[in-house]
């Protein structure tokens, strides 16, 4: 049982209050979301009614949960403006009226929305009280964040094959932060025989298969290079771009040189 003078006050104005497991859950921050980096903020805000139970955390964590994890009991007991509420409102009804009241034109309770989850960004003490008083609905101003699914797919694809790219000496070791950044673009840069080759991320798995199955003959590789250079003279003196599977043959000469360099 969580003991604190504010919990005692809560039980005095709301005798039906029950200590539930949900109040022991972490007060999350948006950056705790697994794919937070892949959400984009929508410009337009709108007003709607939500159930406070759907609020899973807060944004201004510097004041409460930036350096350590806290649960909802701990947040309630650390809210800075709650003493003012306790001193001025003596009944559950008065507190609920306070939760819903607009004290000025700009006095909004604001939340960020990620999927079905909400994070409070303004009006924190009222929204927190709404959870504990089991208020079923509250009007809020919503800023929505949309998941960039295409970028997330690109990220997962790069992450799944990055070790193969490194194994074949197409790239250096890349940490996760760099992979997240690289996923913003549809193209990815490979270095084949130290030459820059730009490839569509979606094509990389197929290109790896193409590379691994490409045959070169140690005795005749110079002839192979000569033939490939004739077939793709337009690719000289510029970076090769692989936009379709049919483009893979543009890199044949580099593939031969690359394999001879690392696997002869």
pLDDT tier at 218, thresholds 50, 70, 90: low
Residues 113-131 pLDDT 10s: 999 999 999 998 999 999 9
Which of helix, strand or coil describes residue 55? strand
Cα–Cα dist 262/264, whole Å: 6
Q: Once rounded to an integer, what is the mean pLDDT over residues 121-145?
A: 96
Mean pLDDT for 212-218 is 71
Long-range contacts of 147-152 (CB under 8 A, 24+ apart): 147/35, 147/38, 147/39, 147/114, 147/115, 148/38, 148/39, 148/40, 151/38, 151/183, 151/184, 152/35, 152/38, 152/183
pTM over 0.85: no
pLDDT of residue 2: 59
SS3 17: coil
Distance separating alpha carbons of residues 258 and 167, to the nearest angstrom: 13
Q: Is the pLDDT of residue 60 over 90?
A: no
Q: What is the model's pLDDT at position 226?
A: 55
pLDDT the model gives residue 106:
78
Flag whether pLDDT at 237 surpasses 50: no
Give residues with Cβ within 8 angstroms of 116, minimum separation 6.
Answer: 54
Predicted confidence (pLDDT) per residue in 156-204, tens digit: 999 999 999 999 999 999 999 999 999 999 999 999 988 999 999 999 9
Whose structure tokens read 């989850």? 117
């Amino acid at each position: 049982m969580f003991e604190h003078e504010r919990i005692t006050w809560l039980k005095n104005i709301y005798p039906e209050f029950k200590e539930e497991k949900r109040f022991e859950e972490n007060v999350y921050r948006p950056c705790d979301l697994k794919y937070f980096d892949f959400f984009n903020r929508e410009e337009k805000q709108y007003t709607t009614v939500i159930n406070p139970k759907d609020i899973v955390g807060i944004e201004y964590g510097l004041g409460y949960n930036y350096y350590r994890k806290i649960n909802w009991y701990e947040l309630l007991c650390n809210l800075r403006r709650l003493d003012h509420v306790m001193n001025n409102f003596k009944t559950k009804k008065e507190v609920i009226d306070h939760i819903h009241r607009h004290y000025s034109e700009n006095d909004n309770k604001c939340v960020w929305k990620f999927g079905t989850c909400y994070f409070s960004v303004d009006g924190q003490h009222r929204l927190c009280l709404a959870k504990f008083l089991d208020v079923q609905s509250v009007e809020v101003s919503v800023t929505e964040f949309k998941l960039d699914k295409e970028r997330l797919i690109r990220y997962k694809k790069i992450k799944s094959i990055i070790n193969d790219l490194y194994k074949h000496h197409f790239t250096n070791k890349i940490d996760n932060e760099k992979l997240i950044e690289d996923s913003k673009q549809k193209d990815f840069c490979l270095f084949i025989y130290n030459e820059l080759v730009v490839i569509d991320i979606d094509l990389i798995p197929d290109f790896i298969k193409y590379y691994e199955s490409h045959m070169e003959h140690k005795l005749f590789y110079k002839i192979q290079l000569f033939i490939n250079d004739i077939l793709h003279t337009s690719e000289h003196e510029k970076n090769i771009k692989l936009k379709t599977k049919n483009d893979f043959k543009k890199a044949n000469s580099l593939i031969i040189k690359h394999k001879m360099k690392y696997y002869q």
